[in-house]
Amino acid sequence: MQSVIRIGSRESRLAVKQAEIIKDQIRRCDQTILVEIITMKTTGDKILDRSLESVGGKGLFVKELDQALADGRIDLAVHSLKDMPMEESSEFPILAYSRREDPRDVLIYKSEKKEQGTEEGSILTKTGAVIGTSSKRRMIQIQKLYPNAVFQGIRGNIQTRLSKLNKEEYDAAVLAAAGVKRLNMEAVIGRYFSVDEVIPAAGQGILAVQGRKEFLKDTVWRQYVDDKKSRVQALAERSFIRVLDGGCTSPSAAYAKVKGNELELTGQNPELKGEIRIETEHGVAAYNMHVLSPAPYITRISATYPIKPGDQMTVIGGNFYEVQAVYLSTEQPAKDGTRPVDVQEITNYEVNNKYSQITLTAPANLLEEGYLVVECYTSSAVTEFKKNGPKPVVTAVSSTMPVVGSTVTITGQNFIEVSRVNINGEFDIPVGDITTSNTFDEISFVLPQAPTQSGHISVTAIGGTVESAEIFYPLENVILNYDGIGSHVWGDCSFVVADGSSAPYVSNGTCLGITGTVSASNYWWKQSYSNAQWVNTSIIPGNIPIDDLKLQFECFVKEVFTGPVFQIAMCENFDAALNGYVPVSSFTGKTETGKWMQCSVSLSSVVADATYQDFLNRNSTHIGVYATNPGSSQATIEVYFDNFRIVRK
C-alpha cells in the first residue's frame, strides 16, 4: 500500500471537509498511511456571475483536479458526485462512493424573517417571493409547490450563498442538505423537501473518490471508503440520467432507494419532448412519439387470505405507468400481449403516486386461481393468482450448515401464515419460534438441533409447501469439521467447544479458533494444518470442472479487525492458495460479527486443477488455514472456523 496519499480538493470549506471525511476513512484502514489534502481553485469556483449552463456546466468543477491527477500532483480527488459529469473518465475512474449523507434539498429563509417567526407558508406564498437557486431541476419542481414565487440565480459556496441571501433581495434559498449537515449548520434549515416533493440530483449526498486507474488494484483502503449501497444508488441514478440525455445543465433528476434486494428508482426529465423533429433550411418536420416507460413488474399480491369478493387487494411491484387495464384470467396473455378470450376485468383500482402499488377491489364471482394481469401502455405484468393464497417461494438460505443455536434466515416470497417449517424430513421448527417479516419475504428461526441426514428445508404457508433448492446439511460434502471428519496434524491454533457464555457462543462440537494479538508485519503467526476427507466421486463426479465447485465453511468473527488476513491452501499447492482472505458472509456480502456466518469461495481460487478428478489425483489431503498480519500495526483478532465442505455452485 502506498505510504503517502495526496487528496486533491476545491478550496471551499465544504470541499475540504469532504476531503477530510475520506482522509479519516483511509486512515482508519492503516494509521501509518500519511494522507495530505491539497486544495486548488477550479474554474467553476472562479465564475460566479453566470449560470453553469452558460459557461460549460459542472465539468468546470473537476477539470483542474483532473489535470492535477494527470500531472501526478495528487493521487485522489474528492468531489460531490452530483457535480461530476455523467460520463466517467477511463483514465481517472471513480474508485469509491462514500456512504450517502441526507440526499434531500432544503429551504433556508432570510434570517431576519426567520427570527421574526415568519412561517415559510406566508413567506413564499406571496406573489413575487424570491427563491434563490440556479438549478433548473429545483426551479421546475419547487414551482409546483410555490406557484407564486419567482426564481433568481444564486451561485457560490454555502457561506457565499447564505451571505447573498441575507444581503440581497431573496426571501429564501435552496441548498443540498448534505453540504449543510457536513458543515454542522443544520440550525439554518427552515424546511426539508421530501424526495417525493423534489427529486434530488443524481448522486446527491454521495462523495466520489476519483483517482488514477492503477488505484483500482488497491482494494485495502477502498473497502473502508466504498459503500456498496451508495455505489448501487449512484450507478443506477447516473445511468438513468445518461439514458434521458440529462447533462449537467439538464433539469433531470434521479433518486434510487435500496430495499433489501430491490432497487426503486424515481426520476424525471421535464424537457424530454414527445416528438421527433427534423430541421432543415427548408423547414421543420415533426412526428409525435410516445416515450415508453420501463416495463411493469409484479413482486407479490398483498391481501387477507382467503380473498372474498369485495375485499381489498394490493398489487405490489413497480413501473405501473399508464395502466390500461387490470384483469383476472385462467390463461396468461399471449407473448404479443393479446388478451385471453375470457377475462374478468377489474375497474375499481387506484395506482399510488410512486407507481409501485395498485389497490383494487376483488370482483364478484372471483376466480379460484389463475393469473392477475396489469396491462400498461409499454407491456403487461403477470403474476399467479390464488384466492386461497400464493404458493411460497424460497430463493436463499443464510447457511446450508448452520451451527446449532444460531439463527437461520430464509428469503423468498409469499411466506403468508407459515404453519410449518420442516428440517430434512426429521423435525419441525415450532411455529411459535418462527419469525416472519412484514413483507412476507423472509422468515427466521433458531436451529434447535442438527439433522442427522442431508435433505431440504420445506416451508408450508397458506398457498402450499415449497422446498429449498440447495441441500441443507450436506453431510456427505464435509471434508473437515474437527469432530471426526478429517484430522488436525500440526499448528498452534486453538480448538474450542463453545459453552454458550462466550465467543463463539454456539457450535457443533469442536471448532478451530485463531485468536490473540498479532504484531505488525507478521507473516507467520498462527497455522492449522489438517488432513481432510475428500468428497466421494459418487457425490461430486470426477468430471465436474473445478470452476463449478465452491469451498464452503462456517465462520465466527467476534469483532471487525484491520490488518490480519488469512491464507487457505489445499493439496500442498501453495502457489494456487487463496491469499489475503477476510471472511465475508455469502448471504449478506458483509463481515458479520458476533454470530456464525456461512462463507463461500470458488474452489478455483484455492486450487489450480481443471476438474475435480484432477484435484483428487494430487494424492494429498492437506488443507491449511494460516493467519498473517501484513499491516503496519499490531491487531487483536478472534475468529473461528468450522465445517469445511466442497459443494456445487
Buried b or exposed e, range 512-521, using 16+ CB within 10 angstroms: bbbbeebeee
Side chain identity at 385, as an amino acid letter?
A: F
Residue 605 CA, chain-centre distance (Å), reads 25
Provide the annotated active-site residues.
83
Question: Residue 447: exposed, middle, or buried by beta-carbon count in 10 A (0-12, 13-18, 19+)?
Answer: buried
Instruction: Name residue 349's beta-bridge partners.
Output: 360
In sign, the C-alpha dihedral spanning 246, 98, 48, 120 is positive
Instruction: Name residue 77's beta-bridge partners.
Output: 8, 210
* Cα 183 from Cα 371, distance rounded (Å): 54
* Cα 40 from Cα 355, distance rounded (Å): 45
* Cα 15 from Cα 22, distance rounded (Å): 11
Write a three-state SS string for 527-595.
EEEEECCCCCCCCCCCCCEHHHEEEEEEEEECCCCCCCEEEEEECCCHHHCEEEECCCCCCCCCCCECC
Task: Please report where in the chains the cell 491449511 appears, as a residue.
Answer: 624
**Pair type for strands 565-570 and 549-557:** unpaired
- Nearest-5° Cα angle at 419, 415 to 420: 95
| Structure-block grid coordinates of residue 628 | 498473517
Q: 153 Cβ partners below 8 Å, 6+ apart?
A: 51, 132, 133, 134
Instruction: Name residue 34's beta-bridge partners.
Output: 4
* Cα 279 from Cα 287, distance rounded (Å): 12
**Which long-range contacts link 277-286 to residues 24+ away (Cβ below 8 Å)?**
none
At residue 253, φ and ψ (nearest 5 deg) are: -140, 150
* Cα 73 from Cα 8, distance rounded (Å): 8
Among candidate residues 464, 292, 283, 440, the one with its CA nearest the CA of residue 379: 292
- Nearest-5° Cα angle at 29, 25 to 31: 100
Rounded to the nearest 10 degrees, what angle do helices 158-167 and 13-29 cross at? 150
Is 461 within 8 Å of 389 (Cβ atoms)? yes
* Cα 638 from Cα 512, distance rounded (Å): 11
User: Which 3 state secondary structure label does DSSP give 215?
Assistant: helix
Side chain identity at 130, as an amino acid letter?
A: V
| Structure-block grid coordinates of residue 99 | 456512504
* Cα 614 from Cα 609, distance rounded (Å): 6
Is 596 within 8 Å of 639 (Cβ atoms)? no
| Structure-block grid coordinates of residue 253 | 433528476
* Cα 66 from Cα 72, distance rounded (Å): 10
User: Which 3 state secondary structure label does DSSP give 646?
Assistant: strand
Among candidate residues 281, 395, 385, 246, the one with its CA nearest the CA of residue 326: 385
Among candidate residues 586, 582, 547, the one with its CA nearest the CA of residue 567: 582
